[in-house]
Structure 1
Amino acid sequence: MRQRSRTRFAPVAAGLFAGALLLSACGGGSAAADDGDATLTYWLWQDDSTDPTWTNLVAEFNEQSTSGTVEVQVIPLAQYEDKLLNALSSGGGPDAARFKDVWLGEFVQAKALAPLSERIAGWEGKDDVVPALLDAGKVPGDDEIYLMPHQYTTLYMYYNKAIFAAHGLEAPRTHEDVMAAAKTLADAGQFAIDVRGGVGGQDQWAAWMYSAGAQFVDESGKVTLADPVGVAANQDYLDLLRELEATPPGSITADFAAVRGNFLNGTTAMMIHHAGSLAAVREGLGDDVGVIPMPSADPAKPTTLGSMSGNVVFGASDKQDLAWEWVSWLLTHDPMLTMSTSPQGQLPVLTSVAEGSPFSDDEGLRVALDAQATARTWPLLPGTSTVVNKDWVPTLQSAFEGKVTSAEALEELSTVLAGK
């Protein structure tokens, strides 16, 4: 079996905790009151570097705030987490930052983040936030909320109606339907779906695993990914390529551009992605594109992967009051609508925005919004970031190549997820 990589957590955690103590000893922490001259350092990445939405929101907040101003630093997403880790471990870094849910376990265990539950309890805007999305800011075994939700997405399935009709197939409702359709299509010389074994494919795979009944962790937070249900679900994913030959050439290393290209040009008949592809597939396929929830092992208990970006406040900051004012202001109606309908927006976390246009009157967006009720995130464990950013690609590629079994691949990923 391929030698597994170790998580980077242990030395980083020690550095983060030491840095937090150092800054707190220098007079930081939430005890220090903000004043009108305070300047909050806020880090973020931009999915679309040409879009001025973030700049405009910062300017709007600064104009109306009497507590201080926000100063942003934009960092490319590919470098973002490492720069945060390095800055915080050396006693620097921002007061608050845009943040991905998969990073949460690592930073919470490092004691780098300020708990937000008490502030949320006294915040008048909390009732407008989808409750499950607030809970998604917790890590297993800890009731504190550390991540304020901001934007999220859920994965679902696109299918080509014309290809399905030509082969006498209906839209798949169950996991078994997908496997059966893949066999029918492959037998007829039509590729069914990409497995996207390249960078970024872990989310498509996680949506497959969840919808097929796999559990990444149990209620206590113990990693259970490699149980019999998980192994069988993963074996089906491997069999799409290995046994059914239902995937196009290059699928084992495909990135998203290749996956979407194959779906748009009719090479594949199905694609797992989210609403971010909705405009492109509608433009390319017109009425032939169908949008459906992830076909599940049990249609009465549908689920898929949900992914969230939000905001965190760092425990060593002496501007936590101003940081809270900023991140909670982003969760008011107008700023949320502005961001969610921007070129880099995703689904809104506020009920008041989700129930209005354009979200309430677009079928494709409604499928994504409805999926939120039962969607699950990657488990927010210390090793999740390492699996997502490093281990998943080589581990699954080894399984696709037959170098490791389905069980061995999941056991390897489980060990890293648990931070061992």
Structure 2
Amino acid sequence: MLKNTHKLLIGTGFAALSFASSAFAETTLNALFMAQAAYSEDDVRAMTEAFTKANPDIKVNLEFVPYEGLHDKTVLAQGSGGGYDVVLFDVIWPAEYASNNVLVDISDRITDDMKKGILPGAWTTVQYSGKSYGMPWILDTKYMFYNKDILEKAGIKAPPRTWDELAEQAKIIKDKGLLSTPIAWSWSQAEAAICDYTTLVSAYGGDFLKDGKPDFQTGGGLDALNYMVASYNSGLTNPNSKEFLEEDVRKVFQNGEAAFALNWTYMYNMANDPKESKVAGKVGIVPAPGVTGKSEVSAVNGSMGLGVTTTSKHPEEAWKYIVHMTSQPVQNEYAKLSLPIWASSYEDPAVTKGQEELIAAAKLGLAAMYPRPTTPKYQELSTALQQAIQEALLGQSSAEDALKTAAENSGL
């Protein structure tokens, strides 16, 4: 679980830090990335190697940590007055990072080509209060994955279009003895559960906040948690889902132990890799379902950006590295685990070939991405909601009471 460390005192003396060029012959950049999902470590190393070959006077030290440690590592390094020049950050952190002067405002560095070429929705990943604190890099949402073989054996002709249909199809699969628990989710007490919950909130037309105050405890927010509890209690959901993160879901699905799974883009090509997956060639993908009368599809904004820290001693080189990592040629070359931020990439056969189903799902899913709440107190809010989801799933509290408590403990 992510800890709340954003209250650490962060020096404001770096606010006026300029992008002046370094005088050193060789510059070393320290960059912090994520060790799971989206681009693989091998991909990031290869992208970086191409950059250092083209810029032999710049060396880049790469550090990879699990998503759950990314926020704290960034903030702790900032509090100690150094550490990283470039950091990967989640869409939920710009409000906090901007308020605490963690990232450099790079609004004046964004070129017209970037403004015109990058998908409008991608920019929301790095913005707060009208300013940009980095470049969007990972464009992502959660999709509904399904095992084509199992659906065919069950006589199901098309994947679910609504969340109620998901339950109906899972019951058919269970009743026919094909799988005892056909659905896998990542509902561990971590940000992963908030992403699944947000997907459902978007389907039910709920709101996280209204006039800056919690509003998830009623309407669509309550409907979403009630659906999760019903799915968990129905026996159709893998009971270990309450401890699963996304990687656990991937492993269960590619072992053939789930007919349905909600997960990020990266699972599509990994689960289709015959070297590590038992279901290669049988992986179906569609946007996450909707709710009759309320939505056609549902989606959470799970995008991430790359930013320059205010404590970086080499901001010019750091920005140069970010421009390389987010450039269209680099993104197109590595479009198998994360889709590009550039609009025209989706018409490029080099990007779409062999993953036409994914691209078709992405065109609908990415357009429907629903944001988790934008607030400097996001960490408190998320922690309170994670606890509420666990309590409701475990039957320690009703969904309604759990969400009321979360609203009171959200810090808002």
The two structures have a TM-score, normalised by structure 2, of 0.82
Matched, 1:135 2:124: yes
Give matches, 1:268-417, under 5 Å: 268-282=258-272, 283=274, 284-285=278-279, 288-297=282-291, 298=293, 301-317=296-312, 319-341=314-336, 345-361=337-353, 362-370=355-363, 371-385=365-379, 393-414=386-407
SS state at 2:201 partner: helix
Checking the alignment, whether the CA contact within 8 Å between 2:208 and 2:214 is kept in structure 1 is yes
Q: CA deviation at 1:256?
A: 4.0
Q: SS in structure 1 opposite 2:352?
A: coil
Return the offset for 1:187: 5.4
Q: How does 1:40-189 map to 2 (within 5 A)?
A: 41-45=29-33, 47=35, 51-65=41-55, 69-77=58-66, 78-120=68-110, 122-139=111-128, 142-169=129-156, 170-185=158-173
- Match status 1:234 vs 2:225: yes
Q: 1:351 to 1:403 in 2, by over 3 A?
A: same
Task: Specify whether residues 53 and 38 from structure 1 end up closer, same or farther in structure 2 by C-alpha distance, changes over 3 A only.
Answer: same
Q: How many residues align?
A: 397
- CA distance in structure 1 between the aligned counterparts of 2:47 and 2:281, rounded to whole angstroms: 36
Amino acid across the alignment from 1:239:
A
- Letter of the 2:402 partner, please give it: A
Return closer, same or farther for 1:266/1:80 CA change in 2, 3 Å cut-off: closer
Q: Quick one: structure 1 residues 164 and 411, their matched pair in 2 at CA, closer, same or farther if it must change by over 3 Å?
A: same
- Please say if residues 285 and 358 of structure 2, whose CA atoms lie closer than 8 Å, have aligned partners that are also in contact: no
Q: Secondary structure at the match of 1:293?
A: strand
1:238-249 correspondence to structure 2 within 5 Å = 238-242=229-233, 244-249=234-239
Kindly state the Cα deviation for residue 133 of structure 1 after the two structures are TM-superposed.
0.3
Cα distance in 1 for partners of 2:267, 2:356 equals: 14
Q: Secondary structure at the match of 2:284?
A: strand
Q: Would the aligned equivalents of 1:30 and 1:317 in 2 still touch at CA under 8 Å?
A: no
Give the 3-state SS of the residue equivalent to 1:307 in structure 2.
coil
Q: 1:7–1:383: 8 Å Cα contact kept in structure 2?
A: no
Normalized against structure 1, the TM-score is what? 0.81
Structure 1 runs, 4 residues or longer, greater than 6 Å off: none
CA distance in 2, matches of 1:191, 1:74: 37
| Structure 1 unpaired stretches of 5+ | none
The 1:415–1:45 alpha-carbon spacing in structure 2 relative to 1, beyond 3 Å, is farther
Q: Within 2, Cα distance between the matches of 1:89 and 1:288?
A: 48
Query: Structure 2 vs 1, CA of residues 60 and 35 (structure 1 numbering), >3 Å: closer, same or farther?
Result: farther
CA RMSD of aligned residues (A): 3.4
Using the TM superposition, give the Cα deviation of residue 174 of structure 1 relative to its aligned residue in structure 2, in angstroms.
1.7
1:80-126 alpha-carbon deviations (Å, 9 max, x no partner): 33222122112223233222223333212212222222221x45333
Q: What SS does the corresponding residue of 2:145 show, helix, strand or coil?
A: strand
Amino acid of the structure 2 residue aligned with 1:356: D
The SS at the match of 1:382 is: coil
Tell me by how many angstroms 1:264 deviates. Answer: 4.2
User: Shift in Å at residue 149 of structure 1?
Assistant: 0.5
How far off its partner does 1:355 sit? 2.5
Letter in structure 2 aligned against 1:146: Y
Secondary structure, in 3 states, of the residue corresponding to 1:98? strand
